[in-house]
Structure 1
């Protein structure tokens, strides 16, 4: 061990090898972008042009968006306006060519390949409940058994005639656990 430490201490870098790169950017040079990273859950090769043609009329982004391919089945949707990106996230889940698309905000602070694409929000309908249990509290309690519940600003969104609906974030890397044992 002592020999290894001695060899390590004798190691040195030349002036060229020791040169540093400054990756800090000036605020003046930075263009504000709002980015959604997307993973397409398919084995097929992605046609980026078809993706753009499909989502452009669906998302109706006021200032548009452009696409950056960053890896196998992973792309970035770059929006100029934050509200456009937020609206796309609020309206998930999205599919392309009958395959699920996992979206999440991306701030550029880490490599895309390190991102975990495993969660997505779904609206779940709950049918067959007694009339006196058709309320937001029941929706929240049952939703918690499936995944993480997203609170709705309007509790009336959860009650729909003879059923309840709740928005739940599900981890798609795990099987969905569902219990019909309600008391």
Structure 2
């Protein structure tokens, strides 16, 4: 099934058949059938409850609304594949998360070539984190990146963070391990030696 999901180009097949007695050879070439590229997420829900696959499929499709359509597959073992037919549809889902179904968090991973959908570790999620109480005059992309790597693994910061004047909070995108306790406070040393606490939510 993985080869079907991950096929990104039209495939050519050549057939060679040898007659058992005469030794003659016949060759044929299949038609060049264009296959639509696919972009795949593998996911599981952070719950021990049984998931109603059909209901989940309908709910997520109505929320995500991919312009080029999508397919859902139950892979067994509480894993699912979400197959998109345009890179922008996939990216919208990745950047719009986290997503839930019946209050259960969806953990997902973008499937790459040569990865096994059944063995990928699904224990991380991307999430926007709000950072409060940053000292005036110390705000920079480098500082926001450092905060992101303290909380989890920094992905990016909101482009609006550095635009304009003072803000109540700043947003950063991080990858977090669901098995690791959330860090909600961080101690920051100011120039001159004073310390401040900043809060992440």
Interval containing the TM-score (normalised by the shorter chain): 0.7 to 0.9
Question: What residue is the counterpart of 1:59 in the other structure?
Answer: 64
- Contact 1:150/1:167, CA 8 A, preserved across alignment: yes
Deviation string 1:18-48 (CA, Å, 9 cap, x unpaired) is: xxxxx9x972476532111111111111111
Gaps (5+ residues) in structure 2? 13-32, 190-201
Higher RCO (C-alpha 8 Å, min separation 6): 1
- 1:14-29 map, 5 Å: 27-28=11-12
Indicate the residue corresponding to 1:96 in structure 2. 101
Matching of residue 138 in structure 1 with residue 143 in structure 2: yes
- More helix by proportion, 1 or 2? 1
8 Å contact from structure 2 (residues 43, 79) kept in 1: yes
Deviates more, 1:138-147 or 1:116-125: 138-147
Three-state SS of the structure 1 residue aligned to 2:148 is helix
Cα distance in 2 between the residues matched to 1:162 and 1:176? 21
Deviation at 1:92, TM superposition (A): 1.5
1:85 maps to which residue? 90
Aligned alpha-carbon RMSD (Å)? 2.5
1:178 Cα shift? Answer: 4.7
1:131–1:162: 8 Å Cα contact kept in structure 2? no
- By how many angstroms is 1:157 displaced? 4.3
Aligned to 2:111: 106
Q: Which residue of 2 aligns with 1:175?
A: 181
Alpha-carbon distance in structure 2 between the residues aligned to 1:158 and 1:96: 34
Deviates further, 57-66 or 30-39: 30-39
Aligned to 1:3: none
Q: Which residue of 2 aligns with 1:73?
A: 78
Higher strand residue share: 2
Structure 1 residue 121 and structure 2 residue 126: aligned? yes
TM-score, normalization by structure 1: 0.75
* TM-score for the superposition, normalised by structure 2: 0.69
- Runs of 5+ consecutive residues of structure 1 not aligned to the other structure: 1-22
Q: Which residue of 1 aligns with 2:156?
A: 151
Q: Secondary structure at the match of 2:129?
A: strand
> Taking structure 1 as reference, are residues 85 and 40 closer, same or farther at Cα in structure 2, changes over 3 Å only?
same
Contact 2:36-2:85 within 8 A present in 1 as well: no
